[in-house]
Chain A
Amino acid sequence: AQSVSQHNHHVILSEAASLELGCNYSYGGTVNLFWYVQYPGQHLQLLLKYFSGDPLVKGIKGFEAEFIKSKFSFNLRKPSVQWSDTAEYFCAAAGGGSQGNLIFGKGTKLSVKP
Chain B
Amino acid sequence: GAVVSQHPSRVICKSGTSVKIECRSLDFQATTMFWYRQFPKQSLMLMATSNEGSKATYEQGVEKDKFLINHASLTLSTLTVTSAHPEDSSFYICSASDRSRLEQYFGPGTRLTVT
Query: Which residue from A43, A49, A99, A105 sits with its C-beta under 8 Å from B43?
Result: A105
Q: Are B49 and A43 in contact (CB under 8 A)?
A: no
Chain B interface size band reads: 20 to 34
**Mostly helix, strand, loop or mixed at chain A's interface?**
loop
A residues in contact with B4, CB < 8 Å: 43
Taken together as a complex, chains A and B put the C-alpha atoms of A49 and B93 apart, in Å, by: 20
A residues in contact with B42, CB < 8 Å: 106-107
Q: Are B102 and A43 in contact (CB under 8 A)?
A: no
Chain A interface size band reads: 10 to 19
Q: Are B97 and A99 in contact (CB under 8 A)?
A: yes
As a 0/1 sequence over residues 10 to 43 of chain A, the CB contacts with chain B under 8 angstroms (1 = contact) are 0000000000000000000000000010000011
Given known A-B contacts A100-B101, A102-B104, A43 and B93 have beta carbons under 8 A apart = yes
Q: Are B108 and A42 in contact (CB under 8 A)?
A: yes
Query: Which residue from B44, B45, B102 sits with its C-beta under 8 Å from A99?
Result: B102
Query: Which residue from B43, B93, B95, B106 sits with its C-beta under 8 Å from A107?
Result: B43
A residues in contact with B101, CB < 8 Å: 98-100
Tell me the B residues contacting A by CB distance below 8 Å. 4, 34, 42-46, 49, 93, 95, 97, 100-104, 106-109
Tell me the A residues contacting B by CB distance below 8 Å. 36, 42-46, 49, 51, 90, 98-107
